[in-house]
Amino acid sequence: MSPRARTTLVIAVIAQAAVSIVQFGLPAIGMEIRDQFGLGPAGFGAVFAAVGLGSAVALIPTGMLVDRFGARPVLVGGAVINLVAYLSASLAGSAALFSAAIFVAGMGSAAVPVAGMSSLLREFPPEKRGIALGWRQLAVPLGGTIGAAALPVLAGAGGVRLALSVTAVLTASTAAVFAKLSTAGGGEARSLRLDGALTAPGMRPLPAAQGDGLGRAEAGALFVVLNLSAAASRLVWGRIADRDGGTRRVRTLIEIGTLAAAAGLVMPVALHLGVVTAVFATIALAFGCFGFNGVLYVTAGELVGPERAGRAVGIASTMVFGAGSLASPISGLVAESAGYDAMWITAAVVSAAGALVARQSLAGRPLVARRAAGATAR
């Protein structure tokens, strides 16, 4: 690994972890936010979907901007948007204003994953991209774990306002440093054509441990297990996808989706049996529902080559964030109307459908941009 590649990877991980503190750690202060705005399960899910939905809306245009102008100006713009939006959320007086502010913050946050993955695709050869993006994707649950530990402390000291104010400064400053050190340059914009769907192999349901009879401390412990296992899954699946020179990416996606479906079916039974069995089911759930991202983004970038990788990763990320944003309110509605067991079964069905789509759309299709992309990697 060259010094420049190492530097790019390190700062991409740090910047993504900062963004993920809110995107995936916000549920840790969910009770405070729920009480502050008087939210029910469905409204609670809708509020937490806002930041992911904002990213989903912005990812494709952000990828186009990165391809055209390079990562640096896009990261600077995202840093400014994050700072203003999270500070606005900290001052919001209603759930609607809070949701609108973190929606805009999600749009600004889209710069970090797109720029990070575009940079890594340029810096690493094909046989090392899976593990490189696995490390970068590790930052997502890592940020969630940091958020789960730090945000409640900040909220206890100064309320939701302090927690989001600190987050605003952290996300903006790390994105600014990423912009300073970024090596991803822009290129001539070209048309993008993807034959076949790039689909996330799993729906990301909200943790429902408390709804299945576990105490708040036990549910919190499972949330930590989920994030730590998700972090490990990014590296494990990335290493597996790099086997045979990186030729088994699609097969790996299918395997992840199959595991996610099985974990979704096992999860309600495990929760009813108690926290010990729930820990093992949670680990399987994390490896199934949270481990696919890096493999998916590598596949997307290799389909089109480094010149258009930003746009391709933007499309793939939009599907991932869009699915995650829809999962939160849908999970809440299903849990309200049919119970948490039905929510887990729904997640299993969606995961199985994602694995089937990956098999039908991409299995057996060569990653035609691999050789050209590898030639430009440093």
Using CA atoms, how far apart are residues 278 and 18, in angstroms rounded to an integer?
29
The alpha-helical segments, DSSP class H, found in the chain are: 3-23, 30-37, 41-69, 71-90, 95-109, 111-123, 126-181, 216-241, 243-246, 249-273, 275-289, 293-304, 309-338, 340-362, 370-376
pTM above 0.85, yes or no: no
pLDDT digits (tens, 9 = 90+) for 340-362: 788 888 888 888 887 787 777 66
pLDDT in tens, 319-336: 776 676 677 667 767 777
Average pLDDT on 367-374 reads 44
Distance set, CA 257 to CA 44, 200, 202, 275, 286 (Å): 27, 8, 6, 25, 11
| C-alpha count within 13 angstroms, C-beta hemisphere, residue 307 | 9
- What is the distance in angstroms between the CA of the first residue and the CA of the last residue of the chain? 9
Of 50-64, 85-99, 119-133, which gets the smallest average pLDDT?
119-133
pLDDT at 104: 93
Higher pLDDT, 375 or 43: 43
Distance in angstroms (rounded) separating the CA atoms of residues 355 and 333: 24
Domains of the chain: 3-376 (1.20.1250.20)
pLDDT, tens digit, 9 for 90 and up, residues 99-149: 899 999 988 888 888 887 777 777 777 777 777 777 877 787 788 888 888
Alpha-carbon distance of 112 to 65, in angstroms, equals 13
Determine the pLDDT at residue 215: 66
Exposure of 185 by Cβ count < 10 A (0-12 exposed, 13-18 middle, 19+ buried)? middle
User: Quick one: DSSP state of residue 190?
Assistant: -
Confidence of residue 272 (pLDDT cuts 50, 70, 90): confident
Crossing angle, helix 340-362 and helix 309-338, to 10 degrees?
Answer: 150
Residue 198 contacts residue 345 (beta carbons within 8 Å): no
CB-based contacts of 355, cutoff 8 Å, min separation 6: 201, 253, 254, 256, 257, 258, 260, 261
H or E element in which residue 367 lies:
none
| pLDDT interval class at 302 (50, 70, 90) | confident
Q: CA neighbours within 13 Å on the CB side: how many for 212?
A: 23
